[in-house]
Amino acid sequence: MAAPALLHKFRLWPRTLRARLFVILLAGLTIAHAMSFTVLFFERYMAAKSVMFNNLENDVATSIAILDRLPAAERVSWLDRLGRNSYSFILGRGIAGNSTLDTRSAEIASKIQAAIGARYQAEVESIPGRSRHLQAHLTLSDGAPLTIDLHPAGVMPLADWLPYVLIAQVGLLVLCSWLAMHQAIRPLGNLARAADTLDPNRNTPRLSETGPKEVAHAATAFNAMRDRIAQYLQERVQILAAISHDLQTPITRMKLRAEMAEDSVERDKLIRDLGEIERLVKEGVAYARSAHGNDEKASRIDLASFTESLAYDYQDTGKAVTVGKVSGGAIVTRPNALRRILTNLIDNALKFGGSAEIEVQRLTAETVLITVLDRGPGIPDNQLAEVLKPFFRLEQSRNRDTGGTGLGLAIAQQLAAAIGASLTLRNRDGGGLAAEIAIHS
């Protein structure tokens, strides 16, 4: 089983690409750093070991030659001069030890024997104790016994500053790895955000086409795709507008001819069908054009006056539309698009609830919430998102018999997105529907 798959199985493998690349790069650099440090440390150890053996050979040979030529009475005064950190000389047989030596002790014994030559026969023994302790017993020319007491150094002591350097190096590896991942993943994050906010009909910033060659190429391709989508949408609007214009004249002629025909049940059905066709054509064009609601310039409006004016227009025609609590103040938005959104929502509330109430509430300094309330049958919770799609109608109360085309809420939702707002539907406690428009100025 591969390492990533094994780590993923035990939930140790990170889920994000940034974290995975960071772990891989940091692990690789850390292992390489550890290997380099190990090689350098081993090379330093071998060099120090070679120097120690060479010094041991030269110093021991010289010291024994000096002691051998000195009168017996003067040898004691020379012992401290000839001794070193790792070895010293004892006049006498020293301590009895074990003649069985391990590999390193045998290597030291061979170096001592090579240093003193064939003139002196040294017997090296291991002395029991915590640390490595050796004694080499030999006899000088006058028959006096001499012992070389050795305490071979173990692993070379590390400098006090070395751990801090290692910690600094590891920190540098972590920082460089993080910066590398940040530079590598940031273009993907920018591309993902640009894709999430992709709306050719809104004036959103284009993806920056600077940076490395591959990143710039991907950004250029994304912007070109966005331009093509915007062009396709524009062509769709133009086609629907042309179809609407071309259909208006024959539909009008057919309605006139039908109205001049003799009264009959078939004549009335034909007039109703022509009216339905005309309404579908107009609604379809309105939905296509709603995607381009940003053509209108934004202006500052007073929400209290705006909603009261809208309610009065309905009241003048005998519709039950009222204005509830209003605490919105003024806001900068596209008034015609907002009026069309509220009109569709109010018409929907009147159609299925018989009445509508408008409330305005300022949530923050930049956000205003406009709510259209009704006491109709509401919408099943699992279909609240579906009714915002074009040509979607509920199977029960909200069907074609009520005169709907399934585009009213879709147009409102699309216009809301075009003016930088969001439309949300929710069922009210006690029955009815609340359509909330959150406008961000």
DSSP states of 203-215 as a string? -PPPPP--SSHHH
Reported as half-sphere exposure (CB side, CA atoms, 13 A), residue 210 has a value of 1
Q: Which residues pair with 147 in a beta bridge?
A: 90, 137
- Token pair of 426 as six digits: 């929710």
| DSSP 3-state of 74 | coil
pLDDT reported for residue 399: 43
Q: Where are the domains of the chain?
A: 45-150, 213-285, 296-440
pLDDT digits (tens, 9 = 90+) for 278-300: 777 777 666 666 655 556 788 89
Rounded to whole angstroms, the Cα distance separating 312 from 91 reads 123
Rounded CA gap, 37 and 56, in Å? Answer: 28
Which CATH code for domain 45-150?
A: 3.30.450.300
What is d(CA 205, CA 182) in angstroms, rounded to the nearest whole number?
22
Residue 398 confidence (pLDDT): 43
pLDDT at 308: 92
Show Cβ contacts of residue 22 under 8 Å, excluding neighbours closer than 6 positions. Answer: 14, 177, 178, 181
pLDDT at residue number 396: 46
Instruction: Identify whether the C-beta of residue 52 lies closer than 8 Å to the C-beta of residue 212.
Output: no
- 3-class SS at 423? strand
H or E segment and range at residue 19: helix 17-69
Instruction: State pLDDT tens for residues 59-71.
Output: 777 888 888 888 8
Tens place of pLDDT per residue across the chain (441 aa): 555 555 555 466 667 777 777 788 888 888 887 888 888 777 777 776 676 666 677 777 788 888 888 888 888 888 888 887 777 888 888 887 787 787 777 877 787 777 777 777 888 888 887 777 888 888 888 888 888 888 776 555 666 777 788 888 888 888 888 888 777 778 878 887 888 777 665 667 788 888 788 888 888 888 888 888 888 877 777 777 777 777 777 888 888 888 887 778 888 888 888 887 877 777 766 666 665 555 678 889 998 899 999 999 999 999 999 999 888 788 888 888 899 899 989 998 998 889 999 999 988 888 899 999 999 888 888 888 888 877 677 654 444 445 456 677 888 888 888 888 889 999 998 889 999 999 887
Q: Residue 159 gets which letter from DSSP?
A: P
Query: CA-to-CA distance for 403 and 406, rounded, in angstroms?
Result: 9
Assess contact for 60 and 148: CB atoms under 8 A.
Answer: yes
Q: Is 321 helix (H, G, I), strand (E, B) or coil?
A: strand
Q: Identify the CATH assignment for 213-285 out of 3.40.50, 1.10.155, 1.10.3470, 1.10.287.
A: 1.10.287
Q: How far is CA 205 from CA 41, 190, 192, in A?
A: 55, 12, 14
The pLDDT assigned to 314 comes to: 92
Question: Which residues are paired to 321 by β-bridges?
Answer: 356
| Rounded distance between C-alpha atoms, residue 172 and residue 174, angstroms | 5
Q: Are 136 and 124 in contact (CB under 8 A)?
A: yes
Sorted by sequence, the CB contacts under 8 Å of residue 289 that are 6+ apart come out as 237, 240, 241
* CB distance 67 to 82 below 8 Å: yes
Domain 296-440 has CATH 3.30.565.10: yes
Quick: pLDDT tens for 396-405: 444 444 545 6
Same CATH fold assignment for domains 213-285 and 296-440: no
Tell me the pTM. 0.50
pLDDT at 400: 45
State whether residue 440 is helix, strand or coil: strand
φ, ψ of residue 321 to 5 degrees: the values are -120, 125
